[in-house]
């Protein structure tokens, strides 16, 4: 029997931002363990790979020139410059996954998030907060991926980003990774139930169905048996 409600087949576009060191990537990794049908977009960047980062898995690492060539070709849904490097989300891949009904997650900084907000306002915007600024600094120092100057730059930027939290739809504090992931899962589940995702409502009841069937029978009988 025909389902009463038909919702959009397209997946949700989900932007997750938060200051460097807040644990966005770890929370999303945890989310993928509990939520099916999610795809995390792989960005292009002009920065060099860090230890253990893998090409095509963490990022597509390209030169500044190649990145600018891709900008010219309109290959990005959004791109931004962050800590002296370019970062961008590939348009074609994102569209393909959304069209397959998957929720596509972009883990991006705020300038890029705001560009998406201008273009696609159905996007779900989630901001991840560290439990405290001290904890953020501790995480940035402990991960040992940047020198002191870069840590200071990222920490300063963290203050600027946190100031923009009101531009997002949801805020999730990353105190416990599992809890934060569960909250994001709940947000996405609720977003999938929004009425503006309904494409069609089919309200035909059993009585209406049989009424229509009788009407159809009467019409057929008249056509076949009564000549005017
Ligand atoms: P990192 O160098 O630490 O990997 O990334 C620096 C910042 O760039 C992070 O906030 C990260 O979320 C953001 N970022 C990663 N990919 C993209 C992207 O495609 N677009 C934008 N706007 N930001 C990105």
Domains and CATH numbers, the chain: 5-41+103-201 (3.40.50.300)
Q: Which of 4, 1, 21 is nearest to 151 (CA)?
A: 21
**pLDDT for the residue numbered 71:** 98
**pLDDT for the residue numbered 99:** 97
- The two three-digit tokens of residue 15, written as one number: 């932007």
**pLDDT for the residue numbered 163:** 93
**pLDDT for the residue numbered 227:** 67
Protein residue with least CA distance to atom 14, ligand 1: 108
**pLDDT for the residue numbered 54:** 96
**Whole-prediction pTM:** 0.87
Atom of ligand 1 nearest to the CA of 107: 12
Residue 168, judged by CB atoms within 10 A of its CB (0-12, 13-18, 19+), counts as buried
Protein residue with least CA distance to atom 1, ligand 1: 20
Residue 35, judged by CB atoms within 10 A of its CB (0-12, 13-18, 19+), counts as middle
- Report residues of the chain scoring pLDDT below 50: none
């Amino acid at each position: 029997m025909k389902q009463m409600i038909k919702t959009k087949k397209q997946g949700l576009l989900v932007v997750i931002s938060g200051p460097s060191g807040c644990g966005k990537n770890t929370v999303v990794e945890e989310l993928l363990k509990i939520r099916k049908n999610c795809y995390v977009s792989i960005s292009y960047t002009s920065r060099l790979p860090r230890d253990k980062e893998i090409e095509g898995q963490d990022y597509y690492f390209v030169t500044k020139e190649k990145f600018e060539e891709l900008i010219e070709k309109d290959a990005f849904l959004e791109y931004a410059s962050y800590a002296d490097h370019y970062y961008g989300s590939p348009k074609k891949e994102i569209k393909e996954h959304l069209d397959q009904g998957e929720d596509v997650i972009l883990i991006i900084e705020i300038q890029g998030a705001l560009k998406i907000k201008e273009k696609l306002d159905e996007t779900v915007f989630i901001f991840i907060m560290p439990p405290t600024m001290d904890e953020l600094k501790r995480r940035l120092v402990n991960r040992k991926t940047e020198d002191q100057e870069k840590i200071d730059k990222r920490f300063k930027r963290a203050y600027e980003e946190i100031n923009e939290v009101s531009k997002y739809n949801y805020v999730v504090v990353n105190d416990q990774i599992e809890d934060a992931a569960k909250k994001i899962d709940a947000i996405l589940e609720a977003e999938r139930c929004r009425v503006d995702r309904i494409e069609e409502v089919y309200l035909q009841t059993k009585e209406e169905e049989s009424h229509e069937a009788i009407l159809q029978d009467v019409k057929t009988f008249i056509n076949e048996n009564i000549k005017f």
